[in-house]
Amino acid sequence: MGFKHLFKAEAKWSSNKNEKGFVSKNHEIIIEGKPVLSVSAAKAFKGDAELYNPEDMLLSSLVSCHMMSYLYVCGQNGIEVLSYSDNAEATLEVEFDGSGRFTEVRLNPKVTIANPDKIQLALELHKKANQLCFIANSCNFPILHNASCEVG
């Protein structure tokens, strides 16, 4: 292993009931030097639908990390990326006992590049980006890619 980085986060929650009489799952995530992140459970789990939830953040982490890894490998290969967007989806399966897990994530990156001769390479580099992505390498479920690329 080359080197290690340590990341820290603090969670703060206190007991109170929401407007429906359920114990509120709203809490804060505090990371030094950054704005406080207000979080809850997903609406399906009696959380506040207006706040981020851990499932949102896991999917967002995958989307963001894949994009940054992709931009890195494109730079290494002389591909000028003009724009990048992704409408990703994640499937969470919940068991009758309340346990659950993500079973797959589907990334749908849409990339616009400058050079028409590099479209095929730009599409192939999503595989390399996935191999480099810190978050993808930490997951135990398939991360599928349905990438598209056009010239701008």
Burial 118-146 (b: 16+ CB within 10 A, else e): bbebbbebbebbbeebebbeeeeeebebe
Write out pLDDT tens, residues 26-77. Answer: 999 999 999 999 999 999 998 999 999 999 999 999 999 999 999 999 999 9
Entry pTM: 0.91
DSSP, residue by residue, 55-87: HHHHHHHHHHHHHHHHHHHHHHTT--EEEEEE-
What is the gyration radius of the CA atoms in the chain, in angstroms? 19
- The DSSP secondary-structure symbol of 129 reads H
* DSSP class of 118: G
